Structure formats: C-alpha cells, structure tokens
Amino acid sequence: MNPAKNLSVVRKVVQLSAFVLLVYGSAIGAYYLADKLTAALPALSCAYDKNGSDLCALIPFQHQMDHRLGPVLSEGGSFFSGLMPTLITLGTFLVFFVLLNKAFCGWICPLGTFQEIVQIVGQKLGLQRTESVDQGLVQRVRPVKWAILAFLVFIFPLLTGLGYLNHDFGDPFCRICPSRILTTLANGESDQLMVDTANATTITFSLIADFLFGLMIALALTVRQPFCRICPMLALHAMFRKVGLLRLVKEGTSRCDRCGLCAKACPMDIKEIHTEMEKRDVTFEDCTLCGRCVEFCPDKGVLKLKYATFPVFTADPQYFKVRKKAQGLWEKRTLRNLFATKSPTKGKQTDGAA
C-alpha cells in the first residue's frame, strides 16, 4: 500500500514531527520556541522539559488553583480577579481545541506517540497483543480519568492554596505524570526519574511516578494506549468535544450489526462505535480521533472524519481491502517469524505459528 495513502502512516509522520517540535523545539534552532508557543496546549507537553516548546493546560490550571484562586479565597479579595488567569488559560485551550478537537490526543500528544512506539516494539518482538480489553474492565477504568482531573488538577491544588495541604500538593498531577519523566529522559536528563527524598510526600509522589511510568511501558508492549485510558487531559477534552470542528460521524446501516471491525480496530476499545445506531456524532469521550475505525470500516461512507461540514477521510471498501492486507503483512513481520523462517525446521515452525 502506498504509504502516502495509508492514514496510519500519515498519522505516524505527524506524531513524530509533533514529538520533535514539542520535546526538542528550542534545541533545533527555533530559539524563540523556548519561550513557549502557548501555555495551554491540549496535549501533555511538559514544562519540566527545558528544550520543550510548549506547556500543556494542566500545568497552569494547577498553579492557578494553588497560587491565585486559593489565596484569594482564603485571604479575601476579588473572586473574579483570582479566577481570571484560569479563564484565560481555558480560553487559550479552547482556541487550540476547537481547531483539532480530540485529535490532539491521537495525533499530537508526545506521550500518546511514545505508547504507540512501545506497542510497535512489542509487536515486532512477537509478544501476544491484547486485541481487545474486557469491556467490564474498560467501563470500570473510564471514571478514573475524571477523578484524576478533579482531584489532582483542581481540588488538591486549590486546597493547597487555601492552606489545608502542604505545598507539595500544589501540582500533584505533574508530580506523577509519565510525560514529565519521558520528555526529560528524551533530553538526557534523569533527575525526574529519581526519588525525591525531601519529605514523605515527595517520596510518595516520586515512587508513584516511577511505578506509573514503568507500568505504562510494560503494559504498552501488549495493551494499546494504557495511560491514555486514565489521562486527565482526555477527560478535559471530553468536556468540550462538542465544540471541536473535527469529529467522527457515523451513518449506520443494518450491516453494522454483523460487523464490529471498527470497535476491534479502536485502540481505546470503544465498543459504542459499533453499537451506536442513532447518533451521527460518535466522538465518544475516550475517542482520540486517530481514524483507525474509519480505516477498517468495510462499508462505504458509514464512518467519516469530518472537519465542520467537510469530509476529511471516509470509509471505503477498496481502501479497506488494501489496508487490511497491508496490516496483515505488517503484523507478520516480527522477529519470531523472521527466526522461524531461517530455522532448518522451517515448515513445522511456520505451520505452528499459523
């Protein structure tokens, strides 16, 4: 299949380009990127990365709860003036978010890109991939991202600003965010990976961060997008997904009941893409607008990525046939199969692998 016509390949190129820009932005000759493009990008672009070119919105939200709104509420003052920085950050976030909607997760986020790379490594090593996570587990995990957004991004920092918690709770999500470790390691800095022994709180946060980062890598080898499923940025996106110009649209047919390939292709295991037959806008809360469901839909026009009223990418049976064949060839190219092919007992090992 021509790579230029393969949506997944195009997306990988965009992801890797965004990774270089966001993680190494000020180190590749773009000096002024060191001052940050914005302080409210709808992706996990970490401020602890000294060469980064942006900051995700979760960073200023936490600091504004701690240093602006909290002190105003505890010491007296204008509530509006304390809330204004948060409103400005939210407004900046929405300007960017309206343009691409939840595609910031599926096409831009450095941590999302990293997890997909780890998954490719696992597949090439011949590890058994979990095609679909149990739906009961998916349903139980979905509320976690909302709890993290509420408590670690807003409530705990606000309580810190009010004086109820110590200052280490001023940015609790940043202290455990895997992107903080990833982007600094990518720049050759290991200080965020080490355990901060300043006090019991920092030790706890450091241990959680290291454990979460390691667990994410271990799971990503066989499970698609493990951290994305509990990411508070995904929850923040879900709150405003209706205002984004880019969206996933479905025009279901009777054949959808017998198919389900869209749900199988979805890296976030969103079964509702398959089962929903009434709503046209199927940009569900866990959707990252990666477009894989559209790629693997065999019926013409049933699924579409649309920008406002304009179709960007539409399900097509001819594309599906070629894409499915390309996917099959890609999945067969593993180290295990390579060694099996070179083995003297080639026939037996090939039959067993099949």
Total of domains in the chain = 2
pLDDT tens-digit series, residues 7-31: 999 999 999 999 999 999 887 765 6
Is residue 339 one of the residues assigned to a domain?
A: no
| Distance separating alpha carbons of residues 132 and 141, to the nearest angstrom | 14
Please check whether residues 24 and 130 belong to one and the same domain.
yes
How large a percentage of the chain has pLDDT more than 70?
94
Last residue of one domain, picked from the residues 218, 236, 254? 236
Please check whether residues 133 and 277 belong to one and the same domain.
no
Q: How confident is the model at residue 346 (pLDDT cuts 50, 70, 90)?
A: very low
| Distance separating alpha carbons of residues 16 and 113, to the nearest angstrom | 7
* Three state DSSP letters for 210-261: HHHHHHHHHHHCCCCCCCHHHCHHHHHHHHHHHHCCEEEEECCCHHHHHCCH
Task: Indicate whether 34 pLDDT > 70.
Answer: no
Backbone phi, psi, residue 141, to 5°: -80, -30
pLDDT in the model for residue 76: 84
Backbone phi, psi, residue 169, to 5°: -90, 10
Of the candidates 119, 120, 124, 100, the one whose C-alpha atom is nearest the C-alpha of residue 43 is: 100
Please check whether residues 197 and 291 belong to one and the same domain.
no
The segment with the largest mean pLDDT, out of 38-47, 216-225, 257-266, is 216-225
Is residue 343 one of the residues assigned to a domain?
A: no
**Both tokens of residue 152?**
């670690």
Residues 6+ apart with CB under 8 A from 225: 112, 115, 116, 119, 267, 268, 288
pLDDT tens-digit series, residues 173-218: 999 999 999 999 999 999 999 999 999 999 999 999 999 999 999 9
Count the helices and strands in the chain (H runs, E runs).
Answer: 18, 3
Please check whether residues 178 and 306 belong to one and the same domain.
no
How large a percentage of the chain has pLDDT more than 90?
79
Is residue 345 one of the residues assigned to a domain?
A: no
Is residue 353 one of the residues assigned to a domain?
A: no
pLDDT in the model for residue 347: 47
Q: How confident is the model at residue 336 (pLDDT cuts 50, 70, 90)?
A: confident
Please check whether residues 256 and 212 belong to one and the same domain.
no
| Distance separating alpha carbons of residues 242 and 127, to the nearest angstrom | 38
Please check whether residues 213 and 120 belong to one and the same domain.
yes
Q: What is the CA radius of gyration of the chain?
A: 22
Enclosing H/E stretch for 306: strand 303-307
Please check whether residues 20 and 64 belong to one and the same domain.
yes
Task: Indicate whether 248 pLDDT > 90.
Answer: yes
Residues 6+ apart with CB under 8 A from 117: none
| Distance separating alpha carbons of residues 156 and 170, to the nearest angstrom | 7
CA distances from 135 to 53, 70, 142, 261, 306 (A): 38, 40, 11, 16, 28
pLDDT in the model for residue 330: 92
In contact, 181 and 264? CB cutoff 8 Å: no
**Both tokens of residue 94?**
């929405």
Is residue 304 one of the residues assigned to a domain?
A: yes
Task: Indicate whether 244 pLDDT > 70.
Answer: yes
Specify the higher pLDDT residue, 338 or 179: 179
Q: Alpha carbon 266 to chain centroid distance?
A: 13
**Both tokens of residue 126?**
């011949």
Last residue of one domain, picked from the residues 197, 218, 236? 236
Per the prediction, the chain carries an average pLDDT of: 91
pLDDT tens-digit series, residues 138-168: 999 999 999 999 999 999 999 999 999 999 9
Is residue 116 one of the residues assigned to a domain?
A: yes
| Distance separating alpha carbons of residues 295 and 262, to the nearest angstrom | 8
pLDDT tens-digit series, residues 50-71: 888 888 999 999 999 999 999 9
Is residue 318 one of the residues assigned to a domain?
A: yes
Please check whether residues 215 and 301 belong to one and the same domain.
no
pLDDT tens-digit series, residues 68-127: 999 999 988 889 889 999 999 999 999 999 999 999 999 999 999 999 999 999 999 999
Please check whether residues 184 and 155 belong to one and the same domain.
yes
Is residue 125 one of the residues assigned to a domain?
A: yes
Last residue of one domain, picked from the residues 236, 257, 280? 236
Encoded amino acid at 124, one letter = K
pTM for this predicted structure: 0.91
Backbone phi, psi, residue 223, to 5°: -115, 130
pLDDT in the model for residue 349: 41
Please check whether residues 270 and 228 belong to one and the same domain.
no
List, in sequence order, every residue forming a beta bridge with 303; answer none if it has no partner.
250
| Distance separating alpha carbons of residues 88 and 238, to the nearest angstrom | 19
Q: For the chain, what percentages of helix, strand and coil (3-state, to nearest 5) are there?
A: 60, 5, 30
pLDDT tens-digit series, residues 214-223: 999 999 999 9
CA distances from 147 to 42, 151, 158 (A): 18, 6, 15
Please check whether residues 39 and 115 belong to one and the same domain.
yes
Please check whether residues 175 and 106 belong to one and the same domain.
yes
Task: Indicate whether 171 pLDDT > 70.
Answer: yes
User: For residue 197, what are the domain limits?
Assistant: 7-236
| Distance separating alpha carbons of residues 24 and 189, to the nearest angstrom | 13
In contact, 282 and 276? CB cutoff 8 Å: yes
Mean pLDDT score, 216-233: 97
